[in-house]
Amino acid sequence: MQAIMETLFDIVYLVTVITLGILMIKRGKENKQYLLFGIMAVTLGLGDSFHLIPRAYALCTTGLQDYTVALGIGKWITSVTMTIFYVILYYVWRLRYQIQDKNIYTISVYVLAIVRIALCMFPQNAWTSADAPISWGIIRNIPFALLGLLVIVLFYQRTRQHQDSAFKYMWLTIVLSFAFYIPVVLWADVVPMVGMLMIPKTCAYVWTVWIGYSDMKKKLNY
C-alpha cells in the first residue's frame, strides 16, 4: 500500500510542478519574473525526480535497501537543485519588488548557497552509504536553513510593505517546508515514521509554485 500511495503522490507532484513551470516559461517570456519562476519550478521538479523516481522504483520492486546508491546520488542531486531553487526565488523577489540595491543580500545568498553546495560535495556525507552520518546531514543543512530564513524574511517584509496579496503567503510556504524538513534530517533515521513529514513538505513547495502560477494567470489574463 505504501508503494502505491507514495508512488502516485510523487507522480502527481512531479507532473504538477514541472507542468506549471513549463507553462510559466512558455507564457511568461515577456515577463522575466514569471520566466524565472517557471525555471525555478522546473528546477525543483527535475531535481526532485532524481531522488523520487529511484525511490518509487525501489518501493515497487525489491525495496529501498537494494537501491542505496541510486537513492543516495538522487538525494545529493536534489540537495544541490534545492539550493539553486532558493537562489532563483531570491531573484524573483528582487524582480517583483524592483530591488535595485541591497547587494549585501545578494552576497549573503551566494555565500550561503556556495557553502551549502560545497558541503554537499564532501565525501564525509557518504551519500551512497546506508549508514550516512547524521552529523553531516546537520552540517550541510545549516547554511541551507539560513538561506531559507533570509528568503522568508525578505518576502515577509516586502509583501507587507507593498500590500502584495498575491504573494502574502509566500513566506509561509517556505516556513512550512523547513518546519517539515528539519525533523526528517534530525530524526528520520531513528524514527522512520518521521519521514512521512516529507509529504506535507512537498505540498508546501507545490503551494509555492501555485502562488507564482496563479499570479501569472491573473496578471497576464489567460
Residue 168 scores a pLDDT above 70: yes
Residue 14 CB contacts under 8 Å (≥ 6 apart), including other chains: 45, 48, 49, 52, 53
CA–CA distance, 187 with 138 (Å, rounded to integer): 11
Structural domains of the chain in order of their starting residue, each with its CATH number: 2-220 (1.20.1070.10)
Residue 88 scores a pLDDT above 70: yes
Confidence tier at 222 by pLDDT (50, 70, 90): low
Q: What average pLDDT does the segment 70-92 reach?
A: 95
Cell of 219: 496578471
Q: Residue 191's pLDDT is what? A: 74
Q: What average pLDDT does the segment 165-182 reach?
A: 95
Instruction: Record the pTM.
Output: 0.94
Confidence tier at 196 by pLDDT (50, 70, 90): confident
Residue 205 scores a pLDDT above 80: yes
Q: What average pLDDT does the segment 106-119 reach?
A: 97
Higher-confidence position of 41 and 133: 41
Residue 157 CB contacts under 8 Å (≥ 6 apart), including other chains: none
Chain mean pLDDT for the chain: 92
Torsion of CA 84, 86, 90, 95, to 10 degrees: 70
114-153: per-residue pLDDT in tens? Answer: 999 999 999 999 999 888 888 999 999 999 999 999 999 9
- Range among 2-6, 161-165, 182-186 rated most confident: 161-165
